[in-house]
Amino acid sequence: MSPVLAVCLAVAVIAVAVAVVLAVALRRTQSSLDELHSSVQLLREAPQRQPSTEVAVLPTPYAPVAVVVPSSEQVYQATMSRPLLRLAVLSYGVRRALRPESRDRVSALMRREFRRRRKIRQRAGRRAARMASVERQS
């Protein structure tokens, strides 16, 4: 068997396997879609309920309420124990860091630091030049 024929055979086998997997997934999706469609039909055919006319009794605003302020460790544990919250916190931080105001502030700080260091280098260079000229005169 030539190498080209072997490669063609392997590609054909892989294509058949992919087709089988996609057919099974399509069949499952179709059955789920049919179930969903029948559920929607049942909900459409069900009689509409009238809103209740009961009045809820709310507590008075002057009732004593005990408020317990959570510690920062409790807030951290509650936040970091849930993956969705972790993702939300991370995405908020990234969005905030990438805002134009933050980028401008960071670039301004870097520019200021770069200029400060350049001034320090220039002063050191001038001082060294002055010291060299004083040594020559002596």
Stated pTM of the model = 0.32
Domain ranges (residues) in the chain: 1-44, 72-137
Tell me what pLDDT residue 93 has.
Answer: 87
The full DSSP string for 63-126 is S-----PPPHHHHHHHHHT-HHHHHHHHHHHHHHHTSHHHHHHHHHHHHHHHHHHHHHHHHHHH
Tell me what pLDDT residue 121 has.
Answer: 96
Tell me what pLDDT residue 119 has.
Answer: 96
Tell me what pLDDT residue 48 has.
Answer: 65
- pLDDT under 50 in the chain at which residues? none
